[in-house]
Amino acid sequence: MRSLTRTLVRARAPAISRARVSTLHAKINSPPPRIVKSQGLWLETHEGHKILDASSGAAVVSIGHNDSRVKKAIAAQLDQVAYCYNPFFTTEAAEKISRFLTDSTDGHMSKVFVVSSGTEAVEAALKIARQYFTELPTPEPNRTKFISRKQSYHGNTLGSLAVGGHKARRGVYEPVLATNVSHISPCYPYREMKEGETETQYVGRLAKELDDEFQRLGPDTVCAFIAETVSGTSLGCAPPVPGYFKAMKEVCDRHGALLIMDEVMSGMGRTGTLHAWEQEGVVPDLQTVAKGLGAGYMPVGALLVGKKVADTLTQGSGAFSHSQTYQGHPVACAAAFAVQTAMKEDNMLQNVQEMGKVLGEKLKERLAGHKNVGDIRGRGLYWGVSETLSLRNVC
């Protein structure tokens, strides 16, 4: 462990002159290590230092680096069609990954819109939610608002940032973010459940809060409620308590609004099932995926559209009023399909379930008794650790 730590520390100081750096890095005055090779679980810098990619990048590289099957699929697609404008043309690669995704939901989601990132998938979800209400047999044009949750994260473009509740990332952009979004409490039992409150009572309280927000805004003005199936960036792998999403879906249905489940980080197998909502007993109206979809081999994300929404657009204008230059990119689609095929060939979902149990047990075994550890939670290979409330208050 000490040698790995030394490697990490030394790797943070690449021999690159600031004056020669043209890339706008996140930390402008401190360029990150330059990676020249990746294999399996490891990254290698230009100085030869190896770094364990323990978090799969930004929770992305689900099958490991440099998989020959995916590289072969990418090369084959480049030999066929490298690019075509998806609104005008389609490709076998785009149709294959879309069919794979709809089939993986047992037909609950009937259409797929392939984009280049999770943020783009969220933007597409917000737009199609709005369009849906304008194309109902009796249109509902007053529906222009969205309800999200505090301490949530849905992306970094202005639209996705507006529905997110990540204060630090909203920060300087707050004055230019859309104001048609409101935020309610997250499902975060460690810090939010009251003393003596049961999980059933907690769910009831959160459902009432959502219902109250509908009433405050006007039930017929809300397009959708958006939430991460298992919270990621902001709350750190916090699964919902049993019955939470069923209760929230009931509130949405009661008021005629849609439920958008953001699985950009928690989906595509990371929590032990291909879709995290499979463990919740509910099916979303709209779903977003990315990260594990293409495992980092190509930039790719997708919006999955439920039958109700898809049928309404099909019977209405017959079009989705949204497009992007690289939507349905054939090479990205081929990479994503190859990644999903590799996951199936290697029985990765079962491995996530089995190793997830081991990871959870080991985390609790090693950390549960620590005075500064208050909560250990997660699903599959998606776990987080929180410091104690008392330490939080001190800090």
3-state secondary structure 161-222: HHHCCCHHHHHHHHHHCCCCEEEECCCCHHHHCCCCCCHHHHHHHHHHHHHHHHHHHCHHHE
Work out the pLDDT band at 16, boundaries 50, 70, 90: low
Which position has the higher pLDDT, 393 or 144?
A: 144
Return the HEC string of 262-309.
ECCCCCCCCCCCCCHHHHCCCCCCEEEECHHHCCCCCCCEEEEEEHHH
Name the pLDDT band for 119 (thresholds 50, 70, 90). Answer: very high
Q: Report which of 230, 227, 275, 224 is spatially closest to residue 102, judged by C-alpha positions.
A: 275
Q: Say how far apart CA 235 and CA 69 lie, in whole Å.
A: 35
> Looking at the structure, do residues 307 and 242 belong to the same domain, yes or no?
yes
Determine the Cα–Cα distance for residues 72 and 338; give it in Å rounded to an integer. 9
pLDDT range class, residue 6, cuts 50, 70, 90? very low
111 and 319 Cβ atoms separated by less than 8 Å: no
Does residue 309 share a domain with residue 323? yes
Say if residues 355 and 207 touch (Cβ distance below 8 Å): no
Q: Is 60 a member of any domain?
A: no
Provide the domain limits for residue 353: 347-395
The Cα 139–Cα 257 span in angstroms is: 13
One domain for residues 135 and 277: yes
Q: How far apart are CA 26 and CA 32, in angstroms?
A: 9
pLDDT of residue 233: 84
Report the percent of the chain where pLDDT is more than 70.
93
pLDDT in tens, 146-196: 999 999 999 999 999 999 999 999 999 999 999 999 999 999 999 999 999
Give per-residue pLDDT as tens, 76-91: 999 999 999 999 999 9
Q: pLDDT value at position 20? A: 81
Name the band, by pLDDT with cuts 50, 70 and 90, for residue 3: very low
Together in a domain, 337 and 303:
yes
pLDDT tens-digit readout, 318-374: 999 999 999 999 999 999 999 999 999 999 999 999 999 999 999 999 999 999 999
Amino acid in the structure at residue 359: L
Residues 383 and 292 placed together within one structural domain of the fold = no
Q: What pLDDT sits at residue 387?
A: 86
Give dist(CA 218, CA 243) in Å, integer.
25
Q: Are 307 and 176 found together in one domain?
A: yes
pLDDT at 390 over 70: no
pLDDT at 140 over 90: yes
Task: Decide if pLDDT at 19 tops 70.
Answer: no
Q: Can you give the length of the chain in residues?
A: 395
Task: Supply the mean pLDDT for the chain.
Answer: 94
Are residues 37 and 91 both part of a single domain?
no
Residue 13 pLDDT > 70: no
Same-domain status, 230 and 366 = no
387: which 2 tokens? 């410091």
User: Alpha-carbon distance 222 to 145, whole Å?
Assistant: 5
Which bin fits 197, alpha (ψ -120 to 50), beta or left (φ > 0)?
Answer: beta
pLDDT at 18: 59
- 100 and 48, same structural domain? no
Examine residue 62 and state whether it is found in any structural domain, yes or no: no
Structural domains of the chain, count: 3
